[in-house]
Amino acid sequence: MTSQVPCYTIINSPDLEVPNEMQLKQDLEKGDTNVKIETLKRVIKLLLNGERYPGLIMTIIRFVLPVQNHTIKKLLLIFWEIVPKTSADGKLLQEMILVCDAYRKDLQHPNEFLRGSTLRFLCKLKEPELLEPLMPAIRACLDHRHSYVRRNAVLAIFTIYKNFDWLVPDGPELIASFLDTQQDMSCKRNAFLMLLHADQERALNYLASCIDQVHTFGDILQLVIVELIYKVCHANPAERSRFIRCIYNLLNSSSNAVRYESAGTLITLSLAPTAIKAAASCYIELVVKESDNNVKLIVLDRLVAMKEHEGMEKVMQDLVMDVLRVLAAPDIEVRRKTLALALDLVYSRNIGEMVLVLKKEVAKTHNVEHEDTGKYRQLLVRTLHTCSIKFPDVAANVIPVLVEFLSDTNELAAADVLIFIREAIQKFPALRALIIEHLIEAFPQIKSSKIHRAAVWILGEYVEGSQILEVIAVIQQTLGEVPMVEAEQRRLSGDQTEEQKQQQQGSAGGNAAGSATEGSGSGNASNKVTSDGTYATQSAYSLAPVAKAEKRPPLRQYLMDGDFFIGAALSATLTKLALRFAELETEARAQNRLTTQVMLIMSSILHLGKSGFPSKPITNDDTDRIFVCLRTLSERTPEAVSVFTLYCREALGKMLDAQQDEDQRMLKEKQKATAKVQPDDPVLFAQLSNGRDNQLGENVFESSLNQALAGSKNAQLSDVASPNSKLNKVTQLTGFSDPVYAEAYVNVNQYDIVLDVLIVNQTNDTLQNCTLELATLGDLKLVERPHPVVLAPHDFCNIKANVKVSSTENGIIFGNIVYDTALNTNVVVLNTIHIDIMDYIIPASCTDTEFRQMWQDFEWENKVTVNTSFTDLHEYLKHLLKSTNMKCLTPEKALSGQCGFMAANMYAKSIFGENALANLSIEKPVDDPDSKVTGHIRIRAKSQGMALSLGDKISSSQKQSVQAA
C-alpha cells in the first residue's frame, strides 16, 4: 500500500505545542467570535502537522458552522478540506451529512462571495457521496447574476465531471450552451477550458463560429484558444491550415503573454520562412518593450533556441539589426546575451551595419559612468574583436574605434583591446602599418602599467622601416629625460629638469604679458584682500612650505613606483628595434648612434633601480633580463639575435593557432551534442513531426513534463524511469534485523530534494501512528512533516518528504521512525543521508583574466593534499574532473607530454550562481614509473561552504580510488 493523501493548501507554521482537546472544545463552544477564529486556526495547523481530533468535528458542526462571520466561513472551508472525512473502514462519517446540508444552504446564500468561495471549495472534494446532493444547487449557480459565482460554478462542474462524470453526465452540453449566452470573459474562459479538456469537438465548433472575433476577446480567453489550436494541430496536422491564420492574428494581441504563447505555437506548427520571421519579430518586440529583465532573458532564450535550429537560423540572419535594438536595455546580462545572439546570426551582408551600431554603442559609453559601464565596454570590445577576426574586411573600420579604449581608465577593456590588436596584427599583415600608426598615436595617453607593457611588446615586435625611429621617439617622450637618476636628483634639489624647461619654453609666448604685470608684485611679501575689503600683507617666511605633487611622464612614474617589470619589457622592445634597425640601415655610424641611445636608456633604468629613488628597488629577475638585452646588443651572437627577431613572433603564432584549434574543437563538440537522433536509432513515431529540437516541432507539453521529472534539460524521461537510475540513488536507512526496515530513494531536482522512503513492518504486530521524523543539517529545510500511517503485520508503505535547498553545501538529513504497539512506543534511529554537492555543480568556462580576477577576489581557500593510487598525471586529472564536475581551462596542448609535473586550472559553477575555482599542482619522478602522484589542489570560492564541500568531495573520491586499488 502507499500513503496517498490529498494535496492540501500548505500553511507554514512554527513548532506548535499540542494543546488539550478539552480546552479546544471549550473555546469553540463558549468563546466569542475572535476566540473561535483563533482556535479554529490552531486546529487547522495542528491537523496539518499530523495531529488527529475526531471528537472536535461534532463541536464545530454545532457551535461554529452556524456562525455567519465571513472569516469563520473561509477557515471552515480549509478545515473541511483537510479533516479526515472517513472512518477507519473507509466509510463516510455520519456527521458529514450535516456538513453537506450546511454547504447546500451556502450555495443558495444571497452573498455572492460565500457562494463563489463554497464552489471553489467543492473543486477540492474527492467524496462523490458529499457532492451528489449538492448538484442541483451547483447547476442553479450557472444562472446567477454575478460573474464571480458563474465562473466558479463552471470550475466546480469541470472538476466534478473530470473526477466523477456520472454525477453530471450532460456536463459538456450544459457548458456549451452556457458559453453561447455568456458575455463575461472570465466565465467564457473557464467554460472554454472545460470544453478543451472534456469535449474538443464542441470547443472547435465554438472557435470556428467566432474565429474572426478572436482578436477582440480578453487575454485569458485568447491564451486558452492558443492552447486548443496547438493541441488540435499536433493531434491532427490537417487542421493547421484552418487555424494558423488565427495564430498570426494573435501575434498582434495587446497582451504580451498571448503574443509570447502565439509565437511559440506558430513555430511548432509551421517552419515556413514567413512564420519563423513573424515569430522572431514578435519575440524581439517583446524583449524591447517589456520592462522586466527576467522576461527579457526568457524571451532571449527562446530566440537562442530558434537560432540553434538549422532551418530557422538562415531566416533569422536578416533580423540581426532588430536584435541589436535590445542593447537599449540597461541590464548587463540582457546585453551579454543579445551580443552573443547577434554575433552568431551576423553574416557578410549585414556585418557592416552591425559594426556601425556597435561603434555608436561604444561612443555612448564614454560619458556615462554606471557600475556596469566598464563591463559593457568590455563586452563591446570582445564583440568587435570577434567580428573583425570572423570578417577581416571590417577590421580596418574597427581598429581606430578600439584603439581609443587604450587610454580608458577601465583596465579590463583596454586589455581586451590589446588582445584583439595582437591577434589582428599577426593575422592581417596588410593592416600592420595602420595598427602601428594608431598605437603610436595612443601610446602617450595610456594610463595603466599593464597596458603600456603589452603595447610596448606589440610595437617592438611588429614595427618596421621608418616607424622604428618614431617608436623610439615616443618611448623617450613617455620615459622623460635620460639619465634618469641625474634628472631625479635635479628635481629633488629644486633645479629645473629638461621637461620643465621645455614646458616653460612652450608656454612662454602665451604668458609673456601676464608675467610682466605680476613682476612688480612678486617678492617676499604678497598683498591679500580680507573679507571686509581692506588689504593685508603676508610674508613668505610665515607660510608653511607646500609640497607639490610632481607630475612625471607615465613610464618614469611606473619605475618610480617600483614597477620595474615594465623596464624589463621596455629593454626587450628596444633591443628588438635596435637589431631590426641594424638590418635595415647600412651605415655603421647611424647603427651605433641608435644602439648607444638604446643602451643608455637600459643602463639608466638599471641605475635608477639601484639608486634608492623608487619606492621599491629593482628585482633580480628584471636586472638579469636587462643585462641579457645589453649583452645581446654588445655581442650580437646569432643565437641570441634570432631569439629576439624570430622566435618571439613564432611563439605568438603558435599560441594563436592553438587557441583557434581549441575553439574549433569546442564548436565541433557542440555540433555533435545537438545531433540527438542517430541513423541507427529505432524509429519513434512521436518524432516524425517536423523538427526534433527539444523546444521546437515536438509536443512541448510532453517535453516540459519530461524536463520537470528529469530535473535538467539533458536528462531524458527514459533515464529517469529506468530502474538502474533509481537503484543507484537508494540509501539504506535501517538494518535488515530491525523491527521496521526503511530505505530512501533520493531524487534531487535542482532546488528540491524528494525523499521517497519505503517503510516495511517486519513484525507480527500492527504498528499504530508510524511516523517518519526528519531533521536537516546545512542549508536544507524540510517543507512539511510526513503524516503518520498505520502498518499491518508484514505490510509496507511509501512516504514522501520534500526538502528545499538554498545553497551549494554538503547537507545531511537524519531522523528516526516512531511507532506505537499495543504495549509501548518504540523508536528506530535512521542512518544519515548525505546530499551530494555534485548534483548542483555544472562545468563552466571563463577567460584566463576572469579566472585570475576571481582567484584574487575570493577569500575562502581550501588546500587538499593529493593522496591517491594513480601513477599517471593525466589519468589523475581525468579522475578529478569526473568526480568534481569541473572543467579544465588549461588547453590540451599545454598538458600533453610527460615531464614529471603538471599544473592545471579548473572551473565550475553551481545552479545557484556560485563560482568554484581550483588549481591542481601535481608531480611524480620521471625515472620511476611505479611511483604515485603527489602534490596538492587549491580550491577557492566566495563562500566557505562551497570551498569546504568541494574539498570534502575531492578527499572522499581519493579515498574511494585508494580503497579500490
Provide the pLDDT for residue 627: 93
- pLDDT, tens digit (0-9, with 9 covering 90-100), for 86-117: 777 777 788 888 888 888 888 888 888 888 88
pLDDT score of 921 more than 90: yes
Dist. CA 842–CA 906, nearest whole Å: 12
- pLDDT, tens digit (0-9, with 9 covering 90-100), for 359-406: 888 888 876 666 778 888 888 888 988 898 888 888 888 888 888 878
Q: In terms of Cα–Cα distance, which of 886, 864, 848, 859 is closest to 941?
A: 859
Provide the pLDDT for residue 715: 44
pLDDT score of 517 more than 50: no
Dist. CA 356–CA 343, nearest whole Å: 14
pLDDT band per the 50, 70, 90 thresholds, residue 855: very high
Residue labelled with grid coordinates 551576423: 346
Say what the pTM is: 0.68
- pLDDT, tens digit (0-9, with 9 covering 90-100), for 311-322: 788 888 889 999
The residues, any chain, with a CB within 8 Å of residue 811's CB and separated by 6 or more, are 776, 777, 778, 779, 780, 805, 834, 835
For residues 871-895, give the mean pLDDT: 87
Dist. CA 520–CA 526, nearest whole Å: 10
pLDDT score of 950 more than 80: yes
Q: Are strands 740-749 and 767-777 parallel, antiparallel or unpaired?
A: unpaired
Q: In terms of Cα–Cα distance, which of 177, 99, 111 is closest to 139?
A: 177
| Ramachandran assignment for 561, one of left (phi > 0), alpha (psi -120 to 50 degrees), beta (any other) | alpha
- pLDDT, tens digit (0-9, with 9 covering 90-100), for 551-583: 788 888 889 999 999 999 999 999 999 998 888
Three-point CA angle 402, 404, 406, nearest 5°: 90
Task: Indicate the SS3 state at residue 340.
Answer: helix
pLDDT band per the 50, 70, 90 thresholds, residue 192: confident
Dist. CA 150–CA 155, nearest whole Å: 9
Contact 802, 763 (CB under 8 A): no
- pLDDT, tens digit (0-9, with 9 covering 90-100), for 143-157: 888 989 998 999 999
CATH of range 839-964; options 3.40.50.2020, 3.40.50.300, 3.40.630.10, 3.30.310.10: 3.30.310.10
pLDDT band per the 50, 70, 90 thresholds, residue 904: very high
Q: Which of 147-156, 590-599, 706-715, 789-798 has the lowest mean pLDDT?
A: 706-715
Contact 564, 619 (CB under 8 A): yes
The end-to-end CA distance of the chain, in Å, is: 44
Task: Indicate the SS3 state at residue 772.
Answer: strand
pLDDT band per the 50, 70, 90 thresholds, residue 545: very low
> Under CATH, which architecture does the 726-835 domain have?
Sandwich (2.60)
Provide the pLDDT for residue 570: 93
Provide the pLDDT for residue 233: 79
Q: Which of 489-498, 800-809, 938-947 has the lowest mean pLDDT?
A: 489-498
